[in-house]
Amino acid sequence: MDKENAAIDLDLGKIRNLLEWQVKCRDRTPLAHVRDDDAHMQEFLRVETNRWNNRDDDAFCTPAATESFMMQLLDCLANIESRDRITIMKRIQTLGGYGYYGGGVSGRNEYSKDKSRVDGALIQRARR
């Protein structure tokens, strides 16, 4: 095959799978948007989708496979016991740094103190 025909050569099976996936997702709202410049998130989704499906080849990581992985993951979270789900979600929040409130300044003349993350007590800090 020469260079001119290489660009025209299309894998009809991949195109058919992509069209079927788009038709299937027509009435759904996307869960996550990953930009082209977000390489960290793309790499995470590729690796975890392959790990979830016990695959090593990158050819398997299609948008349909990634969507299936995300839906199965959320389905698992929705169907586990409430106390286990709360434990998992709190662990994710802690590791990701989401949902933390430092407390800010409280009381009179407390600008030299910070609230402890453990018990909320005020801790004296050296300010410059």
Q: What percent of the chain has pLDDT over 70?
A: 72
Burial (CB count <10 Å: 0-12, 13-18, 19+), residue 49: buried
pLDDT category at 79 given cuts 50, 70, 90 is very high
Q: Distances from the Cα of 61 to the Cαs of 20, 34, 70, 97, in angstroms?
A: 16, 14, 12, 29
Domain-located, residue 125: no
- Would you say residue 104 lies in a domain? no
Read off the pLDDT of residues 101-115 as tens digits, 9 standing for 90 and up.
655 555 665 667 777
Task: Indicate whether 56 belongs to any domain.
Answer: yes
Domain count, the chain: 1
Residue 109 lies in a domain: no
In a domain, 113, yes or no: no
pLDDT digit string, tens, across residues 46-68: 898 899 988 887 777 787 788 88
Q: Which amino acid is at 14?
A: K
The structure tokens listed for 89 are 């979600």
Domain limits for position 46: 11-99
Give a yes or no: residue 117 inside a domain. Answer: no
> Are 96 and 89 spatial neighbours (Cβ–Cβ below 8 Å)?
no
79, 127, 86, 72: which is closest to 105 by C-alpha?
127
Mean pLDDT over residues 88-111, rounded? 70
Asked whether residue 111 is assigned to any structural domain, the reply reads: no
Residue 41, domain member (yes or no): yes
